Amino acid sequence: MNAIITGAARGIGAEISTLLCESGYNVVINYRTSENEAKELCRRLNSAGGKAVAVKADVSIPEEAEYLFDAAHSNFGSVDLLVNNAGIAQQKLFTDITQSDYDRMFDCNVRSVFNCCQLALRDMIHEKYGRIINIASMWGICGASCEVHYSTSKAAVIGLTKALAKETAPSGITVNCIAPGVIDTPMNSGFDEETMNELREETPVGRIGSPYDVARAVLFLADKKSSFITGQVLGVDGGFI
């Protein structure tokens, strides 16, 4: 089985890549800027007996997304699993969000998903099998103050997931979404210790989530035995919402 994980050099993407590789998937580690991290992850996975390649591409740009899929085909063949993990976040008052901020957020968080889903479906429809898993956020469900454009972009990913799931189900393809809560990743590095403690206290299970928590959910939805689960949003948030 062959998998592409976008934004896979570190954090949640790196953990997903690691767990999938350990589970027997051939893994394409996509990155845009984190070249050193991506190549080191790739080296580590291959040294452990897995099969992984690192491919640089800005998947919000159609031509670069196409290059990523061409590289996957050259190395491993058709794509069975796509995990759309690439994304950015930004904290800003709504009245301070610029057109550039908005456009960049939607390019990274939504257009990239659109591009990669279209490309993955070329293989999946032909094979009458496929798994697409989109990484959204709990803020795409309930919204976050000072993150309106981020919350909106993740809500768009959830809408895309639900609609595409209905369209592709007759072809043996499932499309699901994971909505992580507060996860210990570089994306949350901007929060101070007091804020992180407050978020920990607000999480009913009493801890911040780990990238591994999200990766385990990906592995579950990617399994062939999960064929009756599609169009769903799986909250990995410790009961936050």
Residues taking part in catalysis: 150
Radius of gyration of the chain (CA): 17
Q: What is the DSSP string of 24-84?
A: T-EEEEEESS-HHHHHHHHHHHHHTT-EEEEEE--TTSHHHHHHHHHHHHHHT-S--EEEE
Q: What is the DSSP letter of 180?
A: E
C-beta neighbour count of 237 within 10 angstroms: 22
Token pair of 210 as six digits: 């780990």
Contact 134, 178 (CB under 8 A): yes
**Spatial strand order in the sheet of 233-236:** 51-56, 26-31, 2-5, 81-84, 130-135, 173-180, 233-236
Name the one residue in this structure whose structure tokens are 């989530």: 209
